[in-house]
Structure 1
Amino acid sequence: MDAVSDPALTPGPTSPESARGPVRPAGFSRRAVLRGAAYAGGGLLSTGLFSGLATPAFAAAEYDVVVVGSGAAGMTAALRAAKRGLSTVVIEKAPTFGGSAARSGAGVWIPNNQVILAAGVPDSPAKAAAYLSAVVGGDVPAARQNAFLSNGPAMISFVVGNSPLRFRWMEGYSDYYPELYGGMPNGRSIEPAMLDGNLLGAELARLNPSYIPVPAGLVIYSAEYKWLNIAAVNARGVAVAAEAAARGVAASLAGQVPLTMGQALAGGLRAGLAAANVPVLLNTPLVDLAVESGRVVGVVATQNGTNTTIRARRGVVVAAGGFERNAGMRAEFQAQPIGTSWTVGARENTGDGIEAGEEIGAALALMDDSWWGPAIPLPDQAYFCLAERTLPGSIMVNQAGQRFVNEAAPYSDVVHVMYERNAVSPHIPAWMIVDQNYRNRYLFRDIAPLLPFPDSWYDSGAVFKASTIQGLAAKIGVPGAALASTVSRFNGFALRGRDADFGRGDSAYDHYFTDPGVIPNSCLAALWLPPFYAFKIVPGDLGTKGGMVTDASARVLRANGAVIPGLYAAGNSSAAVMGHSYTGSGATLGPAMTFGYVAANHIADNPPA
């Protein structure tokens, strides 16, 4: 196949989920058009239903706080605002709640939180500040970095105290740059403990589904997948699988509906909102921000096909996710090739909140970047590669058949390299090459060792198979001699236990998703047993990381640094506090929840004049 002309790398016709916004007459902003429609009938409209655990008629068109988005950032903001005594509503575009958070593994990166300190993790504010500063550099003001670090632990304590959520330390899941001062080789990340879905009542049916469902009968935590991947060749993997099965049996006997990872995180926050009497209005997309005398005073949203104004006496928090499903915005702001089908973000994340803020003067930043990760464009959905590219016996090559990166590096870094190199020579798609020995030993996505891959994977062009390296090269359109030379060189590194080209295995992080039974380097194993497989690798992501520029209080800023009164942003609707980098597992959700919490506190502490 000619990878350069591969139709899978050419975005197709714009679909409803990826449309950037309505067509507007020249000279008119989108906001002006939609505001005209919203106010055409005069007065405030309130014709929807609200989707709480009970479903009374929508009874209010005015609240102290309106939160846009029911992901982790939005629900944390709403919960905190309600507990500060403010009347609060959440509006959500989707027919489900939870957004991308519900689809995720739900790692949460918060230094010095009560969970890791209780577990004996030797963290300190000084270590965390030094590490974050080293990773982020000058991309993000120190005041925002400090706001995240100083409020994160309090946020976790608040959530634990005001929802059924409890957390576990993801022991061993290294910070992504543990060799930097303040980095933690054993990790700072936490994840939700199991939550009984029965707590949600009828709302359980409205929880956004997981990206990849947990196998039936098992109760698995995100930190355990590394062991399940190698259960066929590792005694601890077998023990973890048995423990997950035992938990599943215990939950079934107790009549529980066990939720873990993102399902637990979103479900726990939603249960907290229900207990605090915060309505969550599903099927209620944001249309516009309502502005009076330069201040944001509410939102215009669509309910039952009608534009409705919901006023906010104190503030609006936009936490509506990024723009990963918006083909127009991705084409405008991000490098090519790019596509809306390679992301695992929620399908409703089309940048509505970012656009609404931009149209009233919000500055934007980091719009070229995403929470990248190598992905395989499987026919059902893109598969975000974590362990697969790190396990020994795999390499990644460009279209010249050459390695170009440490395959075990943090996933965002790998895609940054793909784009940087692609500007010079074809690196998109890249190819991940493995052999049958690799397939005999390791789980791949949810395909057990030894089992064949689905025919649809081959038919779609996402996977190729051949009895020789030369034959595999011919199928994927790379030079056979170059690929054979690359494999031979890598096999020599595996034998000696050191990757002299890219340092795979030099960092403690590189060894997280590996096989401790492989020596002398758990990251490196030769590719020698036919048949050989090639997986197409494209720039996937967990979501975009660019958005509205905010200050240390989560207030949205104009390009000149002035605050837009009444408007706050958190999560992927705001420019990430991580800048162009990524500190560790959960560096998306940790700051998202923290700045939702910060926004609610600022609103409560600063009533408008």
Structure 2
Amino acid sequence: MVESSLTPQGPSRRALLRGAAVTGGALVAGAALGSAPARAEVEYDVVVVGAGAAGMTAALTAAKRGLRTVVVEKAPTFGGSAARSGAGIWIPCNEVILAAGVQDTPAKAAAYLARVVGDTVPIERQRAFLSAGPAMISFVMRNSPLRFRFMDGYSDYYPEFPGGMPNGRSIEPAQLDGHILGAELANLNAPYIQTPAGLVVYSADYKWLTLAAVNPKGLEVSSACLWRGTEAALRGEKPLTMGQSLAAGLRAGLLSAGVPVLLNTPLLDLKVESGRVTGVVTPGGLVKAKRGVIVGSGGFEHSAAMRTEFQRQPIGTSWTVGAKENTGDGIEAGERVGAALDLMDDAWWGPAIPLPDEPYFCLAERTLPGCVLVNGNGARFVNEGAPYSDVVHVMYDRNSASAPHIPAWLIVDQNYRNKYLFRDVAPLLPLPDEWFSSGAAFKAWTIEQLAQKIGVPQAALRGTIDRFNGFAATGKDLDFHRGDSAYDRYYADPLVKPNPCLAPLWLPPFYAFKIVPGDLGTKGGMRTDARARVLRADGSVIPGLYAAGNASGAVMGHSYAGSGSTIGPAMTFGYVAANDIADTP
């Protein structure tokens, strides 16, 4: 397990120094107003910080509750990390999955979440998420052009737990025409990986696109992606899916509701009067919040100082795929007004290959048959197909000078490369030269030569491969049980027998990919209650201040219930926060 959450009893030296820089030397929240003349001073009922999934859902909810609302966004674009993502959304018992025939119940969901999260997160917050989540999805569909699809078969990450569902609970946005945004479409944050031109691809399609060269279903899905793209082109549409659809749909809802989104407007500080948060300080001046401030500004994955202070080494800012503007501004501002912090040592981890252009977050690649993950001693150390966050937890837990696990190495053979898409490189095609020249990938004609190139013991790696190949022959991984879980098998190759996750490594050349602790973003932030109100260390509420998304401690604790466990709770607690403001006199 990861180390316990770090909860400072007061602002750290890092936060104080940063606050002093913002406020002209005053270490008092709100003092920034006196350090730089305000060009404007305006008042709204609700000020939302951040135009990601949490912030835009909060703003849409507040506006529809009759509150005058504004969104301030640091970036020159809207959408944040959500726009870059696959946009899976984990919300049990929502109307989309129930209409699809999923046999979910509140009791099943509560039992499952409690088992996944344990006692890390108060049960009241878990209940609030499960209660408000379905209502949030219904609200978004009624008040924006967003519609959703059930990700049929994308298992919960621990389907064997009580209440777990092998067929999954996750949904994703349906296709959306980006032209509904008009000129605002140009301000949409770009996706993490561009969809190939002419195709319309859903997150649920990637499983089959990876297998397109070896599975008839893969060819069928590829054809469907092409046909969707052709139809959209004939209609003159700009088709958006995944995070692009989610962000665009929420932004369209805000446009219809008349909510301004002020881009290039970073939060510098929170304004406090008589112990209550009453606005946000921006470079353009104070934006007053008559009823409340909701911070949905994302995590701190791109803050080297915060990652060094709170997280285990080795760590940095170059392995994350989170939005580059996520430097913890909202968390630090909350800390300066007394917010307690939770889960700051953790992140939405996943094994990543540090490619020269940007890190690649591995999903299918480490689950497909014909690969193994080894440490610096050439030994397997984890079920390669386990939930991605768990794999990185193990990497950190077991990393030492005598048994280095960071970096680890993903080993595959040419048979694997002949069959499966790898990132965006089609089977049989050569991998880019820069992957090798950068040290992210290595290639050799024998296992022993490969071991020498990556600096692991030759005999140990040969023994690991031989033992794994024996497991592949019998279909039973006696060491780490890969393939036993329905989740393991989601990204596997169903035509491989007897275990779709296991195949021998035998055909040269062999490849090794460097694996580091990547992440989708950090998951620690301000401590909040079941109403998304920000709390001090003594449990008291900071009046007027709310937080959602990665600016708050995750309701998932140190774990990960299923695909969309980041975005689902982010949107839900944005919705909860806005409704609480509307319901509070």
- State TM-score, norm by structure 2: 0.96
Residue 578 (structure 2) pairs with residue 584 (structure 1): no
> Which runs of 5 or more residues in structure 1 are unaligned?
1-18, 47-59
Structure 1 segment 151-162 matched on structure 2, within 5 A: 151-162=132-143
The count of corresponding residues between Structure 1 and Structure 2 is 570
Residue 376 (structure 2) pairs with residue 394 (structure 1): no
**CA offset at residue 302 of structure 1?**
1.7
2:512 equivalent in structure 1: 534
**CA offset at residue 339 of structure 1?**
1.3
**CA offset at residue 161 of structure 1?**
0.2
Any idea what SS the aligned residue of 1:190 has? strand
CA distance in 2, matches of 1:41, 1:412: 43
**CA offset at residue 193 of structure 1?**
0.2
Structure 1 451/41 Cα, relative in aligned 2: closer, same or farther at 3 Å?
A: closer
Query: Does the 8 Å contact 1:20/1:327 carry over to 2?
Result: no
1:518 equivalent in structure 2: 496
CA distance in 1, matches of 2:311, 2:522: 10
Any idea what SS the aligned residue of 1:286 has? coil
CA distance in 1, matches of 2:48, 2:65: 15
Question: Which amino acid letter does the alignment assign opposite residue 212 of structure 2?
Answer: A
Residue 287 (structure 2) pairs with residue 310 (structure 1): yes
2:410 equivalent in structure 1: 432
Residue 458 (structure 2) pairs with residue 480 (structure 1): yes
Query: Does the 8 Å contact 1:31/1:356 carry over to 2?
Result: no
Query: Does the 8 Å contact 2:19/2:27 carry over to 1?
Result: no
Residue 9 (structure 2) pairs with residue 32 (structure 1): no
Structure 1 segment 149-228 matched on structure 2, within 5 A: 149-228=130-209
CA distance in 2, matches of 1:105, 1:144: 26
Question: Which amino acid letter does the alignment assign opposite residue 578 of structure 2?
Answer: A
CA distance in 2, matches of 1:347, 1:488: 42
Residue 54 (structure 2) pairs with residue 76 (structure 1): no
**CA offset at residue 217 of structure 1?**
0.3
Structure 1 segment 364-375 matched on structure 2, within 5 A: 364-375=341-352
Any idea what SS the aligned residue of 1:594 has? helix
Question: Which amino acid letter does the alignment assign opposite residue 440 of structure 1?
Answer: N
Residue 84 (structure 2) pairs with residue 103 (structure 1): yes
CA distance in 2, matches of 1:168, 1:334: 36
Query: Does the 8 Å contact 2:24/2:35 carry over to 1?
Result: no
Query: Does the 8 Å contact 1:31/1:288 carry over to 2?
Result: no
CA distance in 2, matches of 1:480, 1:413: 27
1:469 equivalent in structure 2: 447
Aligned match for 1:444, one of 422, 430, 435: 422
CA distance in 2, matches of 1:106, 1:141: 26
Aligned match for 1:295, one of 265, 276, 282: 276
1:346 equivalent in structure 2: 323
1:45 equivalent in structure 2: 39
Any idea what SS the aligned residue of 1:597 has? helix
Query: Does the 8 Å contact 1:20/1:350 carry over to 2?
Result: no
Question: Which amino acid letter does the alignment assign opposite residue 129 of structure 1?
Answer: A
Deviations 1:389-431 (A, max 9, x none): 0000010000000000000000000000000000462100000
CA distance in 2, matches of 1:183, 1:260: 27
**CA offset at residue 40 of structure 1?**
3.7
Deviations 1:32-51 (A, max 9, x none): 37844432466x532xxxxx
Residue 541 (structure 2) pairs with residue 546 (structure 1): no
Residue 298 (structure 2) pairs with residue 321 (structure 1): yes
Structure 1 241/187 Cα, relative in aligned 2: closer, same or farther at 3 Å?
A: same
CA distance in 2, matches of 1:314, 1:146: 25
Deviations 1:476-497 (A, max 9, x none): 0000110000000000000000
- State TM-score, norm by structure 1: 0.92
Deviations 1:558-593 (A, max 9, x none): 000000000000000000000000000000000000
1:52 equivalent in structure 2: none
2:3 equivalent in structure 1: none
Q: CA RMSD in A?
A: 1.5
Any idea what SS the aligned residue of 2:280 has? strand
**CA offset at residue 30 of structure 1?**
7.0
